[in-house]
Every structure is written in C-alpha cells, then in structure tokens.
Amino acid sequence: MSLIEVEDLTVRYGRRTALDGVSFAVPEGSVYALLGRNGAGKSSLVRCLLGEQLPVSGRTLLLGHDVWRERASILAEVGVVHESPDAPPAMTAIQLSRFCSRLYPRWDGAGLSERLRRFGVPENVPFGKLSRGQRGQVALGLALASAPRLLILDDPTLGLDPVARRSVFEELIGDLADRGTTVFLTSHDLGGVEGIADRVGILQEGRLVLDEEIETLKRRFRRISFPPGSEESPQLADLAPVALTSRGWRVEAVVSGWDDERSALPAGADAEISALTLEEIFLALVGGPQ
C-alpha cells in the first residue's frame, strides 16, 4: 500500500507554474526524499499533501484517502514538522505534550520526555526562548510522540548547525528502526538524506525529472575522467553523459547510463571511473545557473 499518492498535480500562482503534472507514490514503510533547488516547488507540494494548498488540477491521497475530503481524520495519523518549527511561544514542551495528548489516542509523553532529555532540550523553558535547534527537536519529538503511520518533514534541518543536523537524522534512523514509520521529507541536507532514504525524487522548475530508488540511481551514475579527445566517441554517447567539464589536462564526464557488466569505455582511453554521492548526482542534474 502507498501512504502517499500524488496524481498529475499542478499548482499555479497567477502566471507562474509551481508544479506541473507531478505524479509519484510513497510505499508504506519507505523513506522518500524529495529534492530540488529553492523555488522548485517542494513547499507547494507539501502544502498540497496537507490540504493547505488547492491545486489547479490533480489530487493527493494520504493513507489512501483524499486529504481535502477527510483532512481531520487523516492528519490524526500523520506527524508533521515544518521548515520553521512553530508553537505558542509561551508554552513549554511539557505543556505542549499535555495539550497534544488529548488529541492523539496513542500519545507517548514518556517517550517525548526521554527524547528531549537525550538531546539536552529543557522541558520547562517556553518554546519561544529555545534555540532554533531545540525548537526543531521539540517539533520532531511532538510529531513522533503521536505514533504516526506517516511522518512528513519539510526541510527539518534548515538553518541548523552540523551537530544539530546530525542529531535530527540520527533520531529519525532510530525511530525508523524501532517502528518502521513511513517518511516523506524535503531537504537541502543531501548527506543526511543519503543515509536514510530508500527513494528520491528531484523537482526542477515544477517538474519531477527523476523518481528512483537511491541504490539504483547511484549504480547507474559514474564520473569518468579521461584525456581530451574522447568526448565524441560513440561509447561515451551510449553512457548518456549529463555533464562534461574540463579540468586541466583531463576531461570529466558525469554519465547516467553506467552498467558494471555492459558499459564500455572509449577504446584506448586512459580513463578513471568513480562513483558519485547523492549530492554530486543532484548537482550534475540541476546544479546549473538558476
């Protein structure tokens, strides 16, 4: 079963198209990361998922139901963390927990307290006086305390320092191992995403240009370095280069059609082949001038 189904979603703001016919699904138990540069349409898509943005056409299903028709009952089983964590500034984490416990039948207040203690977040300090990283930990803790079937995270590490970013992803990894929670997230932290995501989608100017399992994606992308002169070879063309760069006495090609068993390099080429990280693949695909 897919806990998220996005079908031909189109969103416009006046004459500007934010999302253009986007479709994908997130199977239960998986971690799906939606990537894209600023303005690519990620936040518009999240708003549509949560029933906060009405699309021009298409629809979104959460837990198999239309979010616009059954929003209240659906969101009772969905945890959400926005890119700018928000809560009444005068309320402490304890007060927020008590308030939320009346809304969710499976509320885990003890687990929330333990999570905050582990990361050194005070429970008795008003939310508005916490640091950005501490507010993010409270928001994530509240989202997880409801024991959600689906967790939606809109760039949860935006603006955090490296230590705080790592703690967020470590917390997610631990929770996923314990519960098998389905996660949909957008993020600029591609290093953190690479450690937890099963599948990635890439938005570029409102279009979904890639939707693929992360291990399959990493197997077919390679960087090939060789002396000048082989750029026009048929073998290189067969590998579907997505970027060519001159670096001193070498040329580097990022190719998307690599296969360890079938791919052939230009005859006689003094070539060096290396794998790419998710961040390097992302930059090769959408890293040009904006």
DSSP code per residue over 187-212: -S-HHHHHTT-SEEEEEETTEEEEEE
- CA distances from residue 119 to 70, 114, 133, 168 in whole angstroms, order as listed: 36, 9, 10, 10
User: Do residues 97 and 28 both lie within one domain?
Assistant: yes
User: Do residues 207 and 225 both lie within one domain?
Assistant: no
State the amino acid at position 289 in one-letter form.
Answer: P
What is the predicted pLDDT for the residue at 191? 85
User: Do residues 227 and 201 both lie within one domain?
Assistant: no
User: Do residues 147 and 244 both lie within one domain?
Assistant: no
Alpha helices in the chain (DSSP H): 42-49, 71-75, 93-101, 109-118, 132-145, 162-179, 190-194, 214-220, 234-238, 278-286
Per-residue pLDDT, averaged over 34-60, amounts to 92
User: Do residues 144 and 227 both lie within one domain?
Assistant: no
* pLDDT of 290 above 60: no
Per-residue pLDDT, averaged over 198-217, amounts to 94
* pLDDT of 178 above 70: no
Cα(38)–Cα(35) distance, integer angstroms? 10
Structurally, the chain folds into a number of domains equal to 2
**The last residue of a domain, from among 156, 180, 212:** 212
**The last residue of a domain, from among 161, 190, 212:** 212
User: Do residues 198 and 235 both lie within one domain?
Assistant: no
What proportion of the chain, given as a percentage, has pLDDT over 90?
Answer: 51
Spell out the residues 6+ positions from residue 123 whose beta carbon is closer than 8 angstroms to its own.
92, 93, 94, 113, 116, 117
What is the predicted pLDDT for the residue at 159? 72
Per-residue pLDDT, averaged over 230-248, amounts to 74
Q: What angle do CA 192, 197, 202 make, to 5 degrees?
A: 90
Query: Is 208:181 a contact under the CB 8 Å cutoff?
Result: no
What is the predicted pLDDT for the residue at 230? 63
Cα(54)–Cα(135) distance, integer angstroms? 29
Per-residue pLDDT, averaged over 92-111, amounts to 92
Full residue range of the structural domain in which residue 76 is found: 2-212
Q: How confident is the model at residue 272 (pLDDT cuts 50, 70, 90)?
A: confident
Alpha helices in 2-121 (DSSP H): 42-49, 71-75, 93-101, 109-118
User: Do residues 47 and 185 both lie within one domain?
Assistant: yes
User: Do residues 152 and 268 both lie within one domain?
Assistant: no
The three-class DSSP label of residue 88 is coil
Q: pTM of the full predicted structure?
A: 0.88
User: Do residues 205 and 76 both lie within one domain?
Assistant: yes
Cα(91)–Cα(279) distance, integer angstroms? 38
**The last residue of a domain, from among 191, 212, 233:** 212
Cα(104)–Cα(242) distance, integer angstroms? 48
Cα(214)–Cα(112) distance, integer angstroms? 31
Classify burial at 4, counting beta carbons within 10 Å of its beta carbon; exposed 0-12, middle 13-18, buried 19 or more: buried
User: Do residues 227 and 203 both lie within one domain?
Assistant: no
User: Do residues 205 and 232 both lie within one domain?
Assistant: no
The three-class DSSP label of residue 131 is coil
User: Do residues 154 and 93 both lie within one domain?
Assistant: yes
What is the predicted pLDDT for the residue at 86? 86
